[in-house]
Structure 1
Amino acid sequence: MRPNYVLGGRYRIVKALGEGGMANVYLAHDLILDRDVSVKLLRLDLRDDPHTIKRFQREGLAATELVHPNIVSVYDVGEENGMQYMVMEYVKGMDLKAYIKKHFPIPYQEVINIMEQVLSAVAVAHEHNIIHRDLKPQNILIDENGVTKITDFGIAVALSENALTQTNTVLGSVHYLSPEQVRGGMATKQSDIYSLGIILYELLTGTVPFKGETAISIAIKHFQSDIPSVREFDPRIPQALENVVLKASSKRPADRYETVTDMANDLETSLSPRRASEPKFVPNSEIDDGETKVLDPAALHSQVAQDEDPLTQKKDDTPPVKPKKKRRHRRRLRYILLGLAVILLAAVGLAFWLGRPQSVTVPDVSGLTVNEAQQKLSDNNLNTGSIKRQSSVDIKKNLIIKTSPAAEQTAKKNAKVSLYVSTGPRLVKVGNYVGQSYTRSEALLKAKGVTVRRQNESSNEVPIGNVLQQSIENGQRIDPKNTTVTLTVSAGQRQLQLADLTGKSKAQIQRYATRESINISYRYKYNNRAKDTAIDQTPGAGSTVREGSTVVVTLSRGKKPVSKSEPKIEDFNVDVDIPFEASSSSSSDSSTSNSSSSSDDVNTVQIYIRDHDHDYKTVYKQLTIAQDTQVSIPFAVASGKNGGYKIIRDGKVILSDNNVTKNSH
């Protein structure tokens, strides 16, 4: 695709960004919305495959439903001259593979922050029953603000179908494929979780767990070899953090996390000191896959012994050779031995029964205080073991959540029972988002599980899209399950549609200007309408203007006099510099802060003029200034006469001149 080619009559190609297994990626400019976008074009060798085209279109349309700050938005899907294309959000930054290479080693907390954003995005996709199937660092982008975004939801299915038949293509993906995908099985949500576990492994070690010369050799290792220990690579990695890798990348899907949210919750507390003594995760025993089994030698010897025992051999019909007396003696001896064996077994059983420890049932102490639980355990002949603390949404702080062994289970008399005490809901710390981009702030809060609400408000000082204020103060800890953070976002200067001012009096126009925070500049013409009645305005009625804009209104001077003795009117302008005066609170603030003036640190001034058309009874103009400002005041003065002006701030005259003539300024 050559530069400057306009795709779909809308997207102008700027340059190539890269080539992938399914599509080529280009930077383009949306000519309608005036923004940069990414365009993916299905590869030439796949454009004649109707099945791939159908999947590409269907999955692309499905991806447009995924609206999340950590998912690259899909704007459009189309076709032109047999070219299937997808238009997506352009993310200026690098993919996670390049980020790891550039920044490794990455601090553990930053690793968790990156993974929490990725997990949040995948969770939303799974809620829509969309499985990515090709999660890998190359499909995860990090923009210049550190926000992580997942891409390629639209072509993941098609790619998975071509994976193991395109060796050069799959080599970048097979490092992250789950064992069930490698075997040709259907991908599930647990398959995405496996890939996420491998990505976490690479973030912690800087490399993938399995390597090989071919895609097939790597694939075989996924279902035959154990995941190498990340703690052997870096012993400082907490065991709890390694356990997240091990559980997510278990061979059997049943041993992995049930949902992405479960993985995110486990990952969030993996650096907690309370999990410092956590044992290494070991998956459940593998099920019987039909492999060849070796007979137990003990069982084999037992069978041989049984075959050799005369007591178990089949009786022969041949008459005995020995005399009957000897046979009766042998039978009597057998009965004696059998009786002694029964007596011995009975004695052993009685000794075992008398010597066995007595068992008791563990009582249910959930919802009790520690002291109450200890007393109840003692009443049931049980001792208190370790006391562990963990967060709980349902159990109030300092009350018992559960025990180990669990309630109603059987335990030996005087055994130790561990208590799990609630620390209350898991609290997260709210940062300072004022002045930051709403998109980034929302992503950071949602990564912590916080519900975010947006409301817009006009602002002359804060750029559009940045946060003006937040409902929860910086540093405050909240329960993300029950607290919503409201971010007030700048919508820029307020805009309004101008009313039709023609026919209005000067007083009416001034009241309208004050109410809508606009400035009025007056001009005068002779007209048949009554004096000081508006006959024209610029911009016209219905025009959209911002707060603080100036609207020029032409007022009538009344009918033009017919008397030849009417004095000549001279029109001229006088430039006046109005000084800005900062408030005392703003002055003190400025000595300790480099921030710009607040929205309250402004001056409102009124200008009165006296000339042929005005007197000091009405305001000529009112304006708001935030710095020293120069204004140009128009005068219409009869020959031989003079004019004047007064500028008032806070009820005090700050500037005045009562002898204004054309030649005096």
Structure 2
Amino acid sequence: MKDRFVKELGNQFAILSQLGRGAFSKVYECINIHTHKLVAVKIMRKYKLTAKQLCFAEQESHILQKLNHPNIIKLYGVYSTESFLVIEMECLKEKSLAELIKKKSLTEEESSIIMQTIFKAVYYMHKSHIIHRDLKPENLIFASKDLSSLKIADFGLSTEFELGEKLDTQVGTIIYMSPEQINCKKYSETADIWSCGMIMYYLLTNTHPIYVSGDNLDRFKVKLNGARWDFTNNVSDMARDLFLRCVKSNPIERYSAALALNHPWINHCSNRIPMTHLEEVRLHQDKLKIKMLCITGIFLTNIAIKSNIVQKISLNTPNELPPEKAPPTRTRNNLTSLHIPRRKPKSNSNTLKISSDNSSLLVCDLPKGNSITKSMGNLRFTGNNFYKGIHLCPINKKKSPKSAGRLNFV
């Protein structure tokens, strides 16, 4: 294969060693003879590829040509010969994240740096309308010893998407796939965020949150649908909060890469946990509900206060109520008769129920020993609790106040 590959490409690459192999490809460490650069060359035999696999291979090269980010592997060139499809990429000789996790336990601070690097690359991908669909520790490779040099590689299953578009192709690594992918439902770029959550848990605990060696697909699905996320005591509350926001079973409630980058566990300059759009909408609705409840409470309180006052006035104590059959009103020279209960109350104030010929009603309290002046319609009266009854004459507004009416006390 090597000889044929070198021959068909016209001695463009000098193969040094094999870096790895995939389901239908091999990756070699090479020297580009023309540029003298150390590169990684991914070689795929065309005759071994199905039409679908060939489509994915061409799609990978097309997507990598669009992307240019320090945390995404760089593409240098794509070549097609009679027998091979060749992708020339940046050569990453350091360990993968999976190898690093197996070798050592990471501190929470180191895990935060790695997750920040991943979220930066994912944010850039999603902003460029690319979904990776196969994010996992094996596809994350360091360019150097620096933790922030981590790069996303292997875009063989990635695809482009339009804003708001839902995909339904079931591809990826099962234990890092989102519930909507595993259950063959439509999904969006938030599927990558779920994968980030799984990677984050792996960094914090050195184990997968659900999968146990030996689990088959059916058992894994059952465990996934009833997942309970357990942490060791040394994981901080902020780390747990970010993880739980990345693995919401409802994709609409799930974090985006942009929100994750502003989370206090990632961005130490921030002390505020950003909310998703759905959380903001719900918060706004809750505030409106509280406002309406306050307004309703105030309105009902006012009604209750007024009703209580009327009830106290209209349904006074038995000693202060007028007789059930009030005496008929008397008309003296066109005067309106006003009836006041004869019994003098024991309290410091009197409650007066005043009626007129046209069935109008005026209620007032008369403090003991004090007089009060009230107007009702075209009537004016003055009285106090020293008198058993009051008779008023209609007021003639054209006359002077002195001749406006006559006041008789009974």
TM-score (norm 1): 0.38
Separation in 1 of the partners of 2:197 and 2:100? Answer: 18
| 1:12 matches 2:10 | no
Aligned positions of 1:306-325 closer than 5 A: none
Q: Which residue of 2 aligns with 1:593?
A: none
- State the shift of 1:22 in Å: 4.1
- For 2:80, the equivalent position in structure 1 comes to 79
Deviations for 1:68-115, whole angstroms, at most 9, x for unmatched residues?
0000011122222322221110012011001111221x1212111111
Where structure 1 has 5 or more consecutive residues not aligned to the other structure, the ranges are 164-169, 285-401, 416-665
Matched with 2:291 is 409
1:39 aligns with 2:41: yes
**Cα 1:20–1:264, aligned 2, differ >3 Å: closer, same or farther?**
same
Q: Classify 1:121/1:266 alpha carbon distance in 2 versus 1 (closer, same or farther; 3 Å).
A: same
Establish whether residue 261 from structure 1 lines up as the match of residue 258 from structure 2: yes
| Structure-2 separation of matches of 1:215 and 1:80 | 40
Secondary structure of the residue aligned to 1:266 is coil
Q: Which amino acid aligns with 1:266?
A: H
Change (3 A) 1:162 1:20: farther
CA distance, structure 2, for counterparts of residue 256 and residue 205 of structure 1: 22
C-alpha distance in 1 between matches for 2:40 and 2:271: 45
What CA distance in whole angstroms lies between the structure 2 residues aligned with 1:50 and 1:143? 33
- Using a 3 Å threshold, how does the CA distance of structure 1 residues 109 and 34 change in structure 2: closer, same or farther? same
8 A contact 1:97–1:137 mirrored in 2: yes
1:135 Cα deviation from its structure 2 partner: 0.4
C-alpha distance in 1 between matches for 2:32 and 2:219: 41
1:3 Cα deviation after fit:
7.7
SS in structure 1 opposite 2:61?
A: helix
2:402 match = none
Post-superposition Cα deviations, 1:496-524, rounded to whole Å, max 9, x if no partner, equal xxxxxxxxxxxxxxxxxxxxxxxxxxxxx
Q: Which residue of 1 aligns with 2:241?
A: 243
Gaps of 5+ in 2: 161-167, 298-410
Aligned to 1:209, what secondary structure does the other structure show? coil
Displacement of 1:273: 10
CA contact (8 A) 1:249 1:256 kept: yes
CA contact (8 A) 2:19 2:29 kept: yes
Would the aligned equivalents of 2:64 and 2:155 in 1 still touch at CA under 8 Å? Answer: yes
Aligned to 2:338: none
CA contact (8 A) 1:78 1:84 kept: yes
Separation in structure 1 between the aligned mates of residue 62 and residue 51 of structure 2, nearest angstrom: 17
Matched, 1:205 2:211: no
2:152 maps to 150
Residues 269, 81 of structure 1: alpha-carbon distance in 2 compared, 3 angstrom cutoff: closer
Separation in 2 of the partners of 1:40 and 1:89?
Answer: 11
Percent identity of equivalent pairs: 25
Higher strand share: 1
SS at match of 1:211: coil
Structure 1: how far apart are the matches of 2:156 and 2:129? 13
Give the alignment of 1:487-566 within 5 angstroms.
Answer: none
The structure whose RCO (Cα within 8 Å, separation 6+) is larger is 2
> How do residues 535-614 of structure 1 correspond to structure 2 at under 5 angstroms?
none
Q: Structure 2 CA distance, aligned partners of 1:100 and 1:195?
A: 16
Deviation at 1:412, TM superposition (A): 5.6
4 and 91 in structure 1: CA distance in 2 versus 1, 3 angstrom threshold: farther
Deviation by residue 1:247-267 (Cα, 9 ceiling, x = unmatched): 11111211201x211112125
Q: For residues 118 and 23 of structure 2, what CA distance do their matches in structure 1 show?
A: 22
- What is the deviation of 1:239? 1.5
Name the CA shift for 1:44/1:269 in 2 (closer, same or farther; >3 Å): closer
* Counterpart AA for 2:143: D
Cα distance in 2 for partners of 1:175, 1:59 equals 22
Cα RMSD (Å) of the superposition?
Answer: 3.4
Distance in 1, Cα, partners of 2:2 & 2:170? 28
- CA contact 2:211–2:220 (8 Å) conserved in 1: no
Contact 2:116–2:266 (CA under 8 A) maintained in structure 1: no
Q: In the TM superposition, what are the counterparts of 1:277-292 in structure 2 within 5 Å?
A: none
In structure 2, the partner of 1:609 is none
Structure number with the higher helix fraction is: 2
Amino acid at match of 1:192: D
Shift of residue 120, structure 1, vs aligned partner: 0.8
Aligned residue type for 2:111: V
Query: Is the alpha carbon distance of 1:76 and 1:270 closer, same or farther for their aligned partners in structure 2, counting shifts above 3 Å?
Result: closer
CA distance change for structure 1 residues 273 and 406 in 2, over 3 Å: closer, same or farther? Answer: farther
Distance (Å, rounded) in 2 between the aligned partners of 1:186 and 1:29: 43
- Whole-Å Cα distance in 2 between the matches of residues 36 and 60 of structure 1? 19
Confirm whether residue 60 of structure 1 aligns to residue 61 of structure 2: yes
